[in-house]
Every structure is written in C-alpha cells, then in structure tokens.
Amino acid sequence: MPGYTRKRLDKDVRKETHAATDKTEHATMRRTTSNNVHVLPKVAIPDEALPIPAREMVKGLIKAGLYDSDGKRWVDWKDKMDEKELCDFFNKLADEVDKIVQDYKSLSNAASRVQNGEEVPSQSTNEDPRPKHRWSNAAMNKALPDDPTLRKPDLICTEDGAVPRWKIIDAYGEGKLSATNALGASRQGRDDTRIVLRTQQNRRFVLGCIAADNRVALQYTDRSGTLTSGLINVHTRPEDFIRIVVGLTLIDPYHLGYDTTLLIDDGVGKVTLGDGTVCDVLQNIYADPSIEGRGTMCFEVKHPKREATCVMKDAWVDVSRAEKEADTLKKLNEIGITNIPKVVVSEVVHIGGHLDTTARIRSYLEDEDCVIRVGQTLPDFSSVQPQEEEEEKEGEEEGEEEGEEEEEGEEEEEGEEEEEEEEEEGEEEGRVTQEESDEKTAPGPSTTNGKGRCADITNSSRNHHRIIVEPFGKEFCKFRCLEEFLLAIKDIISVIKQLYDNRYLHRDVSINNVVLAEREKDAFKAPHKRLQGILIDFDYTIWLDRDGPNACAEAPVTGTVPFMAVDLLKNIQKNYVHEYRHDLESLFYVISWICTIHSGPYGRYRWYQEYKGSMVYLWNVLDFSKESLNGAAVSKLGFTSETAFESYIKKEFHPYFAPIFDCLCEMRDCLFPPKLKPIQLQATIAAAKGLEQSKDAEGIRNFRKMHLQLPHTERNPNIVFEELFQVIDDARETLPEEHRLKDSYPPPPSSSSTLFSIYNNNCL
C-alpha cells in the first residue's frame, strides 16, 4: 500500500471505531439513563461506607473555615473553574477531610477508652489500611496508554501518585463550564465507563462525578443502565457535594464497584468461587465492549481439580430468562451433544454475603420512594433538584432554555483535530437521536415484548453469573491447514444438527462463538490428531418444546450483525421465527469473514486496507438503526446471489483459500435456494420426487442437489445437513498435499494482528 503508513491506517481505523461507538452509544444512553435520582449519592455512597458520616465531614469543614454556613457558600470556590482548578479544589477538601477523620477517630477512641470511670487500652488505630486516593487531571491533555480509543477523561480518581492508567481508575470526573453542557459531560462519563469496564474486567459498576459550573452530579452505571442524581448545587447542598467529590476518594473497593471475589491485574490473578475454591486466572480472552447487557468477560483459568485449563465466563444474565446458559449446557451434556463445552462449575455470584445483582441499588431507591424516570432529555438532566431554594428553580428554567439552544448545535473544542471531529459527529448524532422515533432506532442488547417490539432494557434486572467450562479453545481462525479448517466447519455443522435433532436452536453463531480445541474422540475419524470445532455461548439457545420458536429472549445485535441471517436482519424488531437454517447461514458468514480478513493459517491477518472495500466489510454497520441493518441484509443478499458469489470470492477472499472456493460455492447452493416461479417450483418438486428412490451413490447425490433447489419451506433439513457434509468431504479429497493434516506442525509465526483486529475482537 504505497503512501499509506501504519500510523495513518491505525488513525483512520480508530476514527471509524469512534464513529461506530458514539453513534450507537448516544442512542442507547437515551433509552437506558434514569435522571434526577436525587437520593443517589446517599444510596451509592452511604455513611456506612465512609470513615465518618458525611454530615460530620461538613461540620469539620465549617470549623476549618472552608465552608460558610451562614452565607451557604464554599469560601474558596470560583465560578466556572477549569479542570485543574476543580481538581485542586476537590483535593484540598479531601486533604482537610483526612484531618477531620483522624480528629474524629481520636476523640472516639479517647471516649471509648474510658469505661465505668476507668481507662482501658484502645483496640483500634488511626491508620487507614486503604492507600490515600486523590483526584488527578493528568489525563486531560494526554490520552491514557492502555486503550486504543485515546479518550481523555478530565479528572480521574486513583491512588495518590500512581501513574495514570485506565486499569487503575476508581472513578472518573467530567467537567463543563456551563450547566447547559451537562449532557455532553454525561456522555463523556459513559465513554469513560465503557473503557473502565473493558480494561478492568472485575468491575461490577462504575461511579463518576459530573461537574458543570457550580453544580455536580453523581453518575452510576451498571449492566442495567445509568442512574444520575441530577445536578446538585455545591453551595446549598454541601453534604451531597462532599459525599460525591470526597466520598469517592474514601470508599472501599466494594462500594466503588469492584468484584472482590475476582482479584486480577491485566487479566491475571485469582478468583474465589462460592464454595471457597480458589482458581488461578491466567489471562483475559474476551471483554464485551458494551455497557448495558450481559457484559460478558471470559478468562482462561486453572481449576485445582482439573488437569487442563478451563474457560471461566462472567456474565450479567437477565433474570427473566427461563433457563440460564449453565442449565442449558448441563442438559445438552446429559443428552450427549458433542463438540460443546462441558460444565465444571456454575454459580450465581454473591459478594459481601449478598446476591450480586443490578436490582440491589434500585430496590434501595424504591425504598426511598424515589421515582426513576428513564430516557429524559437534556433539560431534565441539566435541571437542579426540585427541593432546592426558589432561586434555584429560576436557574432551572434558565438552564432549560440554554439547554435547548445548546442542543441546536453548540460544539466544544477538544484541543486536537481528531477528537474535535469525533465530538462533532457525536453531538450531531445526539441531536438526531432525540428527534427520531423509537421505531427508527434499532436496539442494542434488548428484550422483546409480546408484541415483537423492542422493550426497554433499563427495566430488566441482571444477576451476576459465573460458569467454568472445558475445554479451553483458541480462535477459529487459528487452524493449521485447510483440511483442519474444513473439518472444524463440519464439526460446527454437526453440532447444529445435533441441536436440531433434539429440538434446540443455538441462535448466536458468530466469529467469537466458534473455537478450536483438542478432543480425545473424533467423530469424523481424521487420519491425524487435529483441532476440532467447538460451538460455545449458549446464552440465546432455546428448546423448542418449552419455549417455542418465538421465545422472548435478548436479540444478539451488538457485535454480531456481520453474522446474522438476512431474514433476522430484515425483521429485527419483529418476533421472526428462528430456524436451524439461520444458524447454518451465520456459520457461512463466519467462513466468509475468515476468508476475507485472514491471509492463511494460525490466524494471520490481512492489512485492513486490503479488505476495506469488500462486501464483508459492509456487514459491519456503524449503528443499529433499521436502515443500517437493512443495508447489511441487502449487501448479504447481493453477496450470496447465485450469479455473483463466485466472482466476489475470487476477487475478495485471500488467495490462500483458493483450494476451497468450489466447496464454498457448493455450500452456498445448499443454503440459498434459487427463487422459482410457480411453474418452475412444480417441475422441480416433480423432478426431485422422481429421483427420491435412487439407490446408487450418483442417483442419491442427484436427488439431494435437486431437492436443494426447493425453497426452505419445502426442504427436508436432514438432506441439507447430508449434502453439506458431502460437500466438505469432497473438498478434502481434492486438497493439495500442503493443505492436508500432518502429524506435526511448525510453531506458529508471530502475530500480525493490527490495532483494528485486536480492539474489535475480530469484528470490523
């Protein structure tokens, strides 16, 4: 690629990634954010989590001369402070509170040492076991290095003096000069949250502070959505203000949202299971990039009772699901389905003696008689609380008017040209989203209601589930030769057939849900030991005898659009019947994906620029609107058409896969029947019936090929599976020797993955 440098390539890829993320994120945020939850600070940062009650902190600050209780104003507060000034002011308060805490404890200890008029030895110390934490603005002008999106949070709360990294951020802070810009700060806070959740795989939720002029808000985000306190006047509500900006530096890891049963650094560490078993965590192998939804995190772990390593999957499962993944897998294991995970351990996570659930904080809010309002617009978020002074209400009205003006097009300067462009794109999307109807905005991870419409995911509670399964697999693209690739494809087809035979449908076949692993038994009796295809992730699996084909379950949209069947893409907001053939179609797109973005065995990637113009690239939509999903469906229809498919693969698939091009064309014929006119259909049915009784191999093959000319409604699924198996076997027989299985293989070459492929977990 003359004249196109790696640096330029990564920059362009990053820009497209921002565009895709921001556009969908703003739409999701509007649906999943609950605003003006005025008791949130007291619920999320309760006095029990603080070394002394917030009220005592304020009393001490009044005594220290930092707060004027008569004038109801912070003495050194300046209106419209910039990020550094805010940081310094917050830390000044935190430093003084540390002294207040020590004095308070000293007095308490002194009092407790006197019992019945006699002095007794003190049983406590004034030392806080948690290192001192403070706010920092070090990341404001320099992106933190451990995430490729190059986001720059205004303020971060970390251990004092620590080198700033996303992986050590306890809480974030985003500031604006005017309250009318609070929505922008809230959006940036969501961006911060997404990165924290991705880089800290043991976070249950994330807390942050939004500062705008002389007001602040607490923002709480978990897998069910975001709660915001609404803007709080720092002068008239000093206790809530201190609870937020100082409390975030004082509360323990549990209240900051850390999973204290999973102690890891860069994906390595220990996990303590519910029965007390401690497993070694060896590496993080997948981190869901989204905020709401399952938030799936996968790790390679070593269980003390297993010789080989296993996979541990952490996920937040919708409580409305009739059957959880572990239950489904256990039943499938009992049935004897091959080439799927085997359950070693499954549990619902408990932390601090409590069920880990997103419903917990919301139940506390209900106890406080707090009305949670979902999906409100900018003026609602920017407004101050109704219980404030009358002058605050006047300010609220002004803020609403200014908020509407800001929503018309105010853009904030970010300092760098690239971020400036991204901010403008994000703000524009936010304005469009608020004008569009819900029908025109397709869901992120969502549930479907009885009418087939997308229901609001904010109302769905999620419990924290943990499951350990074996074997541990590697990416499907890391086959060592084409024969191994073909046999792995055959393995996955076999799993889909076994599921179908037992009335199950997987419903989420994608690049991340097919892996390779060694197994003792080989159903296809390959001449050499090989890596077999394993179908994983049964979160969306249904049992037809119980659920029916239209079972209410989350539609796996986010991240899997490139592999969704055309019928499902075109009917994303309807209760479309999912069939076995849709799983086969998704597998076909996985194969096409690999042949397009990879250049050979061992997972070798092509340069992004080489396939940017391919049909496969078009399947990766920038947002999940109805129009974009329909566009992906149309491109797939064109790609798989009988007249165009062969020319597309010769032009766009990497030449390494040329020996299986004929095989892929025949697979296409199995999965995508031609459109027949009524007279042609009748003739085809008659011809197939005439060949049905054939006994010789050639006659049977001719019958199957004729039968597969029929539309899906007229087909026998067993014939589809039989022909797919035969097509793969035929292709294996014609493979050149260099593409066949061997007794041993050379060590894999060093990875050539680009920033693009690493960041997106194999998704364009």
Q: State residue 748's pLDDT score.
A: 79
Same-domain pairing of 292 and 151: no
**Has residue 572 been placed in a domain?**
yes
Radius of gyration of the chain (CA): 29
Q: Which residues of 452-474 are buried (b: 16+ CB within 10 A; e: fewer)?
A: eebbbbbebbbbbbbbbbbbbbb
pTM beyond 0.85: the answer is: no
Q: Name the 3-class secondary structure at 719.
A: helix
Q: Determine the average pLDDT of the residues in 612-623.
A: 86
H or E element in which residue 172 lies: strand 171-176
Question: What span, in angstroms and rounded, lies between the C-alpha atoms of 181 and 411?
Answer: 10
472-496: average pLDDT: 97
Q: Angle at the Cα of 340 (from 724 to 653), degrees rounded to 5?
A: 45
Share of the chain above pLDDT 90, in %: 56
Are 102 and 243 within one domain? yes
Q: Looking at 513-668, which runs of residues are DSSP E strands?
A: 514-518, 531-535, 542-543
- Tell me what the mean pLDDT of segment 455-481 comes to: 85
Q: Are residues 665 and 535 in the same domain?
A: yes
Both 589 and 630 in one domain: the answer is: yes
DSSP assignment of 262-322:
EEEETTEEEEE-TTS-EEEEEEEEEE---SSS---EEEEEE-TT-SS-EEEEEEEEETT-S
pLDDT tens digits for range 228-274: 999 999 999 999 999 999 999 999 999 999 999 999 998 999 999 99
Residues 179 and 384: their CA atoms lie apart, in Å, by 9
Residue 31 confidence (pLDDT) above 90: no
The residue among 444 and 523 whose pLDDT is bigger is 523
The predicted pLDDT at position 421 comes to 42
In this structure, are residues 442 and 557 in contact, taking their beta carbons and an 8 Å threshold?
Answer: yes
* DSSP code string of 119-163: E------S--SSPPEEEE-TTSSS--TT-TT----SEEEEETTPP
pLDDT tens, residue by residue, 308-323 = 999 999 999 999 887 8
Confidence band of 496 (pLDDT split at 50, 70, 90) = very high
484 and 564 together in one domain: yes
Q: Locate tokens 């019992």: which residue?
A: 115
Instruction: Tell me the pLDDT tens digit for each residue of 725-761.
Output: 999 999 999 999 999 999 888 887 765 433 333 334 4
Q: Please check whether residue 234 lies inside any domain of the structure.
A: yes
Q: Sheet of 342-348: strands edge to edge?
A: 262-265, 268-272, 278-287, 297-302, 310-318, 462-470, 342-348
Residues 18 and 145 occupy one common structural domain:
yes
370 and 333 fall within a common domain: no
- 748 inside domain: no
- On whether both 175 and 68 belong to a single domain, the answer is yes
Distance of CA 14 to the CA centre of its chain: 18
Residue 665 lies in a domain: yes
Q: Is the pLDDT of residue 598 over 90?
A: yes
Whether 21 shows a pLDDT value over 70: the answer reads no
Query: How many domains, the chain?
Result: 3
Closest Cα partner for 430 from 16, 5, 29? Answer: 29
> How many Cβ atoms sit within 10 Å of the Cβ of residue 24?
25
Report pLDDT for 136.
Answer: 95
End-to-end CA distance of the chain: 19
Asked if the structure places residue 753 within a domain, the reply is no
The predicted structure's pLDDT at residue 253: 95
Residue 695 CB partners (closer than 8 Å, separation 6+): none
427 and 537 in a single domain? The answer is: no
Q: In whole angstroms, give the CA distance from residue 699 to residue 704.
A: 9
203 and 132 in one domain?
Answer: yes
Within a domain: residue 70?
A: yes
Residue 111's pLDDT band (cuts 50, 70, 90): low
| Domain coverage including residue 20 | 6-111+128-256+359-433
Nearest alpha carbon to residue 664 among 602, 596, 608, 603 = 596
Residue 119 pLDDT:
52
CA angle 669, 727, 633 (to 5 degrees): 35
The SS3 of residue 559 is coil
Residue closest to 125 by CA, chosen among 142, 108, 146: 108
Position 129 scores a pLDDT of: 64
**pLDDT for position 632:** 92
Whose tokens are 């961006």? That residue is 191
pLDDT at 13: 42
Same domain, 178 and 78: yes
DSSP 8-class letter at 534: E
Strand ranges inside 393-510, DSSP E: 447-448, 454-455, 462-470, 474-475, 504-505
DSSP 461: -
How far apart are the C-alpha atoms of 50 and 348, rounded to whole Å? 28
Residue 307 gets which letter from DSSP? S
Whether residues 315 and 346 share a domain: the answer is yes
**One-letter amino acid of 434:** Q
Identity of residue 168: I
What is the tally of helices (H) and strands (E) in the chain? 26, 29
Residue 119 lies in a domain: no
Instruction: Give the whole-number percent of the chain exceeding pLDDT 70.
Output: 78
| In-domain check, residue 449 | no
